[in-house]
Amino acid sequence: MTITIRELLNNPHLKSSVIAGNDGLDREVTWAHACELSDPTHWLTGGELIMTNGFAIPSSEEEQIVYLQKLIDSNASGLAIGKGLHAPKLSDGFKSLADQKAFPILNTDYDVPWIAFSKTVANAYVNQEHAQVILTMRLYDKLRKTINHDSPNQILRRLNEIIGCKLYIIDAKNKWILFEQEKDLNIEELAYIKSNELPYYIKHIKTKDKLIAQVSIPSSRPTILLVISNAGSLPDNVVLRHLATIIGIIVEKDMTILEKQRRIGAELLIRMVEGNVTDEAASILLNDHGLGKKTLQIVACSGREEKFNYEWLHYWLHDTGIPNLITLHQGILLILLPEKCNILSKLQTESPNQTRIGVSDSINRLNRTSKAYQEAIWALQSAETHGRKVVFYSESFPVSPFIPRDRTDAEMLMKDVLGDLLDYDRQNNSELVKTLYVYLYYNRSWKASAKSLNIHKQTLVYRVNRIEVITGYRLNNISHISELWMALQTALMLKMIPDFAEAITM
């Protein structure tokens, strides 16, 4: 720490006493500056002890108060006046202002040269600077020795020992603790964390029994370092900045590893749901992700109107130690994770309002993964149809009671009714399936359907005639209409046709 006014007073060689401002004796002094200017504030940076033989002090009370107020406003630490030299009598108003603002006014014996003050302060500053350099070197040396083989939590424990304070890395947005640190941080302490628009800042907080420094960490992931001391002091801001830089390196390394694991895991999950990996290979690779020999399930999430940002979920699963594979597949977020993991409440509270969630049955054999994927998609479609936040495949909430719950039966139903029409579209690059969907959606209204499809009415009439010829279904027959509509809903559920939402909202 830098030297204080009190410590200067306690130095017998400086032969000084207090005239006023006793409550400010713990002010830190960054420099001792002799000055006889009537307004020295243009040359001050804060923390200086101004030393004068009295030439600078005005004689009138009003001018003395103005002079003192300028020193106070410049964040000077105090004023030392040579005893028995050229200073006028100090007015009561001058001393009263010093007491009120806790601004120390010292009286120094004539035989003490001002250079003695300057040397004392300079020596204290050099010692402090030397201590800062040594401490900073120890921090970087510890990082160098541990970064390649120790976990973030192990490195933090070692940094704790060097600093003599507790260190916590906090997710800036969600205010949860990163890595596997001790979860003994009080909610009260977390409540002090405030978002700050500045890219880099240090904020000091004092509670009843602790000193807390909140330091932004320079990293791609928004994180905050909390440095908590129970011993009455915190490291200097210079050390805190270096410490935050070291923590930033730790966070960046962890994010690099995490992103690599996510990409590898995403590729594996896609291969599993598409059936492009053997069970034996999948078992070995799942074991690398902490998912080996576990009963698993697939969670599917989507939002029609809001893009699903899953970065926070990826971080949260990692920070809470839940093994997972996660990826976006055809606009739907897929998560493979151990069964009965408590993530659904988090998903519901943190996801956008329009997000819907479907959960598969258990995966107790890896060759069931593709089917579990379809179950999750099926449950997701049911959630969207019924306006529910979460639907489990095991629940009795099908999209329609007339659509089979089994995928094989559903595919057979869809192909029996729409197979020829789908083949025709593929071969001729036409849009008859889309036309059928829109036409039925608008209750066979020629005007509304033509407008939505952006085609002429006669073009629509021609397309409807072709649909009837190809499918063998009449679109003025209620039983035929019902079968076609159920087949379309089944095809949507199975992701065998695109979602025509854009066409019906034009």
Residue 321 has pLDDT above 60, yes or no: yes
As a whole number, mean pLDDT of residues 195-210 equals 68
CA 392 – CA 397 distance, rounded (Å): 8
Q: How many CB atoms lie within 10 A of CB 195?
A: 10
Residue 506 has pLDDT above 80, yes or no: no
Condensed to tens digits (0 to 9), the pLDDT of residues 148-194 reads 889 888 899 899 888 888 898 988 877 778 876 665 555 455 555 55
Residue 13 has pLDDT above 60, yes or no: yes
Residue 69 has pLDDT above 70, yes or no: yes
DSSP 8-state class, residue 118: H
Percent of the chain with pLDDT over 70: 89
For residues 453 and 503, the answer to whether their CB atoms sit within 8 Å is yes
For 242-352, strand residue ranges (E) read: 296-303, 325-329, 332-338
Strand partners, 226: 168, 214
**Residue 187 has what pLDDT?**
47
**Residue 171 has what pLDDT?**
85
Residue 496 has pLDDT above 90, yes or no: no
For residues 240 and 227, the answer to whether their CB atoms sit within 8 Å is yes
Pick the range with the lowest mean pLDDT from 91-95, 300-304, 357-361.
300-304
Q: Is 307 helix (H, G, I), strand (E, B) or coil?
A: coil
For residues 471 and 417, the answer to whether their CB atoms sit within 8 Å is yes
DSSP 8-state class, residue 218: -
Q: Rounded to the nearest 5°, which phi and psi values hold at 87?
A: -75, 135
Q: Closest Cα partner for 482 from 254, 53, 378, 490?
A: 490
Supply the Cα-derived Rg of the chain in whole angstroms.
37
List C-alpha distances in Å: 399 to 362, 384, 395, 407, 455.
Answer: 21, 9, 11, 13, 31
H-helix or E-strand spanning residue 162 = helix 152-163
Token pair in block for residue 361: 């049955």
Token pair in block for residue 41: 């504030």
Residue 400 has pLDDT above 60, yes or no: no
Strand partners, 301: 333, 357
Beta-sheet pairing, 223-229 with 211-216: antiparallel
pLDDT band at 199 (very low <50, low <70, confident <90, very high): low
As a whole number, mean pLDDT of residues 334-350 equals 83
Q: Closest Cα partner for 90 from 50, 117, 63, 51?
A: 63
Q: Closest Cα partner for 156 from 71, 238, 223, 67?
A: 223
108: left (phi over 0), alpha (psi -120 to 50) or beta: beta
**Angle of helix 407-428 relative to helix 432-441, nearest 10 degrees?**
120
Residue 130 has pLDDT above 70, yes or no: no
Q: In what order do the strands lie in the sheet with 211-216?
A: 166-171, 223-229, 211-216, 202-206
Token pair in block for residue 332: 């739907």
**Residue 134 has what pLDDT?**
81
Any residues with CB less than 8 A from the CB of 199 and at least 6 apart, and which?
216, 218
Q: Which domains are delineated in the chain?
A: 5-121 (3.40.1390.20), 147-253 (3.30.450.190), 274-392 (3.30.70), 407-504 (1.10.10.2840)
pLDDT band at 284 (very low <50, low <70, confident <90, very high): very high
Q: Closest Cα partner for 145 from 130, 155, 156, 153?
A: 155
Q: Closest Cα partner for 357 from 323, 328, 393, 327?
A: 393
Token pair in block for residue 176: 């949860």
**Residue 502 has what pLDDT?**
60
Beta-sheet pairing, 31-34 with 105-108: unpaired
Strand partners, 287: none
Percent of the chain with pLDDT over 90: 42
Query: Which is higher by pLDDT, 125 or 462?
Result: 462
Any residues with CB less than 8 A from the CB of 93 and at least 6 apart, and which?
61, 62, 64, 65
Q: DSSP of 369-398, one letter per residue?
A: HHHHHHHHHHHHHHHHHHT-SEEETTSS--
Q: How many CB atoms lie within 10 A of CB 30?
A: 19
Residue 399 has pLDDT above 60, yes or no: no
Residue 456 has pLDDT above 90, yes or no: yes
Query: Which is higher by pLDDT, 281 or 386?
Result: 281
Token pair in block for residue 429: 């690059």
Residue 269 has pLDDT above 80, yes or no: yes
Residue 380 has pLDDT above 90, yes or no: no
List C-alpha distances in Å: 483 to 206, 418, 474, 477.
Answer: 70, 10, 11, 10
